[in-house]
With several copies, the nearest count.
Chain A
């Protein structure tokens, strides 16, 4: 299994996690030798915490395996960018391929882990991260729907509560969905949730919580929380 279940050192659970701590936690949970795609935005930060001894190979959906860190100064090359169109570098063992091959790799289930941001995740693992459904918005989807359904494990990273205090893990997504039943873990500032198959149903389980009690967490979520 490409997922590590225990951390060498878990963060302090009395406070909610910072964005950096969250990225570090996700990075530590990725098993050695995994092939991983890090989505645009917050998930990109995970790469800062991957350790060389983990031997993680990063995929970018615009046609590359073995992506290195962001390019600096003279390294910048407009032909070498990631899915966020940021100039990057290549590592020994890199390979390039065309878009159909790259998305076949994703859709065919060959990536071990993909880490995505989200607007909402439902308790059974539906993901909403591509559109707020605002009537005047210009829609754009990119590779979000392919990432959502492709990898063996789909990790979401987000804050547990929106600015107005409403939870972003919900009984059913109210934002337009990106994929159904695809999320396997939700990493948030207030806790890590696993979504697993249980007697034919996908359900959400709290793995650990940060800066909030289990009771308060349960009271603020609109569905039954399993432990």
Chain B
């Protein structure tokens, strides 16, 4: 059942210490910044975070890492020009890193939501990142066996939700949102706008409401969005 939280703080209030958190976003696009801020405020710690990156600049996930609230991160691209908080924690041996090729990260999340027990992927075969993993040749191609990545909680961002939790996204901010929504026991979405059931064209719903537990409405003006973008882009 989809419920609407009054504030971002209410939305994340039940996140427990030691949880595995799926965190949407590719860089800043689609990163649920206000939900992460609320999580920071809320104090949950010993977290395992699954995100494409390991935080950038001095906001969101980067601050969670700075405060040593993340004991382990599973991601594809931690090192960026502005990933200084992760870099410091990593070099100090204060955060565990599981590095996963980006497509395997996406597919492992998809498998969790789709009830697939494991799958053979060609990505990473023969590389350091597949060391110790089960491999198999099928029809002349070599594959690595990879397992699902499940979350206790997913924090994602979408453009709009209807009252039943159906979601539409905006441009490349869609990224990991749909697969993470399905891969967590409890999915919390921040949206710019909440609309009545029946307002979204049923053909265009990207994430059906069945995957959404909690909606937090965080209005953002398009102007701000563009400006924020101009200020915070950094080369991968």
Contacts and interface: CB of A to CB of B under 8 A. Distances in A.
Same complex for A and B? Answer yes
A103 B107 contact: yes
Interface string A79-92: 11111111100101
Given A78-B233, A140-B77, A65 B208 contact: yes
Interface stretch (B8-16, B60-68, B117-125): B117-125
Given A149-B122, A176-B128, A138 B78 contact: yes
Contacts of B142: 180
Contacts of A42: none
A138 B87 CA distance: 7
B177 A98 contact: yes
A76 B229 contact: yes
Interface residues of B, number: 80
B44 interface: no
A93 interface: yes
B209 A98 contact: no
Interface string A84-121: 11110010111111111011111111110000000000
Contact of B203 (A82, A84, A96, A106): A96
Given A87-B229, A105-B210, A93 B182 contact: no
B170 interface: yes
Nearest to A144: B101
A146 B52 CA distance: 14
B28 interface: yes
Contacts of B124: 145
A78 B228 contact: yes
B115 A108 contact: yes
A62 B26 contact: yes
A90 B100 CA distance: 29
A187 interface: no
A110 B211 contact: yes
Interface in B201-233: 202-203, 205-206, 208-211, 225-226, 228-230, 232-233
Size band of the A side of the interface? 35 or more
A223 to B, nearest CB: 20
Interface in A42-89: 57, 59-66, 74, 76-87
A146 to B, nearest CB: 4
Contacts of B209: 57, 65, 93, 95
B225 A139 contact: no
Contact of A104 (B113, B203, B226): B113
Interface in B36-73: 52
B102 A60 contact: no
A143 B172 CA distance: 16
A191 interface: no
Given A99-B175, A142-B76, A145-B129, A107 B197 contact: no
Given A81-B29, A105-B210, A143-B103, A93 B162 contact: yes
B197 A92 contact: yes
B179 interface: yes
A99 B202 contact: no
A100 B234 CA distance: 24
A83 B52 CA distance: 11
13 contacts: A32-B1, A33-B1, A63-B175, A78-B29, A79-B173, A86-B233, A96-B205, A99-B175, A100-B178, A106-B103, A107-B122, A131-B128, A146-B123
Given A99-B105, A104-B107, A145-B104, 20 more contacts: A40-B235, A40-B236, A62-B172, A64-B171, A78-B228, A79-B173, A85-B236, A95-B166, A95-B208, A98-B206, A103-B102, A111-B210, A139-B97, A141-B100, A142-B76, A145-B103, A145-B127, A150-B115, A176-B127, A177-B127
